[in-house]
A = this chain, B = another copy of it.
Amino acid sequence: MIRGHNYIGGRRSAKGTVIVKSVDASTGAELPFGFHQATETEVSAAATAAQAAYPLYRRVSSERRAQFLDAIADELDALGDDFVALVTQETALPAGRIQGERGRTSGQMRLFAKVLRRGDFYGARIDRALPDRTPLPRPDLRQYRIGVGPVAVFGASNFPLAFSTAGGDTAAALAAGCPVVFKAHSGHMATAERVADAIIRAAERTEMPAGVFNMIYGAGVGEALVKHPAIQAVGFTGSLKGGRALCDMAAARPQPIPVFAEMSSINPVIVLPQALELRGETIARELTASVVQGCGQFCTNPGLVIGLRSPGFSVFIQQLAAAMGAQPAQTMLNAGTLRSYAKGVETLHGHAGIRHLAGGTQQGAQAQPQLFQADVQLLLNGDEVLQEEVFGPTTIVVEVEDPYQLQAAIAALHGQLTATLIGEPADFRHHAELTALLEQKVGRILLNGYPTGVEVCEAMVHGGPYPATSDSRGTSVGTLAIDRFLRPVCFQNYPDELLPEPLRDANPLGITRLVDGQPSRAAL
């Protein structure tokens, strides 16, 4: 049932002789699935298939593209319990989580279908001719947005569905009218195959052009993909090292292309005095739950907890230590992730400015939750140890002396996906400057919540300044994600019958357009 062949232009291809194996995440044992690493020729063929599909797919109406996305969602929802069991086997994530993630992934597809039907993604703008204007008449000018071209997508290990084969980047690119070449993640290749099959079934059922979705397996094939001239943009979720390498490759191409890499974030949580006084123990418990949720394997996992020196904060640290110390070890996504985690924890243990507060010795096949405390000077002096994400169930407490040092500590942070403020109304009055400071550092600010939940909706920003992402002007979750893969085109003095539908006088799609500087859904 799992063939392990690459997906190229609507066909399967297995020209390579290098076979990569999928692994049981809990036992480390090889699974009985072999995947043919794509050859250079196959990588090129996949990119070329996407390029051939582009002129056809980009002109598929937004309604039909929406039907395609809806069909993918239906196919995903129809995957049975055997599928859930397979994902669980490859990732060690529990079945309930996988079922939830599948719903999130199909829901994401349906949300983009809704965006396509609403039509605001077109960004339609019309400036009508002013033939009598002096000294020069104004021609008729109309603008809409089209897909940039084939997009290469690299999925994440930690969301085998929602940030992978049919995940947010794929959904956004397909919605934008861009064919996709997906690089299957080595951590869940059988899962990727099942999901790719679902996408291909949906593409065939809705009569999309062959090559609208392609997938390649193997190590090191990503470089050739990003360098292929047919590829026009890249979506990536993963490590800072991996993301930056792709950015550098893309920038060095004869034709540079944009890379949207979501990479590294420590997601500071700032706990304020009144809140600690009123509900410190609850906060310690909730924060612990957020840190260890899913074995801490979230991009938005809270890796830094900052508080103002006070007896209340000291008590809170003790409560947090007690709660963190009581957390059981958990199995990580794969052996590589566990190795990285153990190394990160070791670095923290070995740093002179950092004290260990709670957590069992990190050894064996599972990750032990850990709590550390770091001297604030590390943050103020820009020590990299506090800026680098330790991917897993670990967090670091930092105590600041006063509000001024708190501001300095925030200013010293690198770019982040999220920042969280835990406080009472009086706290926010006393620290009114925090929102404006945090806005300059992050993509999302939460108030009295925990960052590990990332709602898929219109208003979500899952992005932020470098190194959280490579381009703070994008988001990889939520409907704004489509903007990354669109570019504007303008028509000057075009007769109505030659214009694309979104720009025609009669407004046949019934979309909102900016007409002579005013939003309008009216026909002209």
Residues of A bordering B, CB below 8 Å: 54-55, 59, 100, 114, 118, 120, 123, 125-127, 135-136, 138-139, 141-143, 146, 148-149, 247-248, 251-252, 255-256, 258, 415, 425, 428, 435-436, 439-440, 442-449, 453, 455, 457-461, 463, 465-467, 470-473, 475, 480, 484, 486-495, 498, 512, 514, 516-517, 519
Q: Which residues of B contact A141 (CB under 8 A)?
A: 455, 457, 459-460
Residues of B within 8 A of A100 (CB): 135
CA distance in complex: A512, B100 (Å): 34
User: Per a CB cutoff under 8 Å, which of B55, B138, B491, B519 touches A455?
Assistant: B138
List chain B residues, Cβ under 8 A from A447.
491-495, 498
- A310, B62: Cα distance in complex, Å: 40
Nearest to A141 among chain B residues (CB) is B459
| Other-chain residue from B444, B470, B491 in contact with A445 (beta carbon distance below 8 A) | B491
B470 and A118 within 8 A (CB):
no
Instruction: Tell me the minimal C-beta distance from A429 to chain B in angstroms.
Output: 10
Q: In the bound complex, what is the Cα–Cα distance between A204 and B456 (angstroms)?
A: 44
- Report, nearest first, the 9 A-B pairs whose CB atoms are least far apart: A251-B251, A461-B490, A141-B459, A143-B459, A444-B490, A446-B492, A125-B459, A127-B457, A472-B487
Q: How far is the CA of A61 from the CA of B442 in the complex (A)?
A: 21
CA distance A135 to B472 in the complex (A): 31
Q: Which residues of B contact A473 (CB under 8 A)?
A: 148, 258, 484, 486-488
A-B contact pairs, 6 of them (CB 8 A): A120-B514, A148-B473, A251-B256, A425-B495, A445-B490, A512-B519
Most B CB atoms within 10 A — which of A247, A256, A466?
A256
Q: Are B466 and A256 in contact (CB under 8 A)?
A: yes
Residue of B118, B425, B445 near A492 (CB, 8 A) is B445
CB-CB under 8 A from A114, the residues of chain B are: 517
Cα–Cα, bound, A472→B487 (Å)? 6
Q: Flag if B445 contacts A55 (CB, 8 Å).
A: no
Q: Is the CB of A480 within 8 A of B143?
A: yes
A255–B468 CA distance with the chains assembled, in angstroms: 11
Q: How far is the CB of A334 from chain B (nearest CB, A)?
A: 27
Least CB distance, A406 to chain B, in whole angstroms: 16
Instruction: State the CA gap A369–B258 with chains docked (Å).
Output: 38
Known contacts A120-B514, A439-B146, A440-B55; A460/B255 CB under 8 A: no
Chain B's closest residue to A440 (CB) is B55
The chain B residue sitting closest to A103, CB to CB, is B135
Interface contact B488-A443, CB-CB below 8 Å:
yes
B487 touches A449 (CB 8 A): no
| Nearest B residue (CB) for A466 | B255
B489 touches A442 (CB 8 A): yes
Q: How far is the CB of A461 from chain B (nearest CB, A)?
A: 4
B492 in contact with A449 (CB, 8 Å): yes
Nearest Cβ on chain B to A416's Cβ, whole angstroms: 12
Report the minimum CB–CB distance from A425 to chain B (whole Å): 8
Contact of A136 among B149, B453, B472 (CB under 8 A): B453
Look across to chain B and name the residue whose beta carbon is closest to the beta carbon of A485: B473
Known: A466-B256, A473-B148. A143 touches B460 (CB 8 A): yes
Whole-angstrom distance between the alpha carbons of A255 and B264 in the complex? Answer: 13
A519 to B436, CA, bound (A): 27
Residue of B nearest to A453 (CB): B136
Determine the distance from Cα of A142 to Cα of B457 in the docked complex, in whole angstroms.
10
In the complex the two chains form, what is the Cα distance from A495 to B490 in whole Å?
41
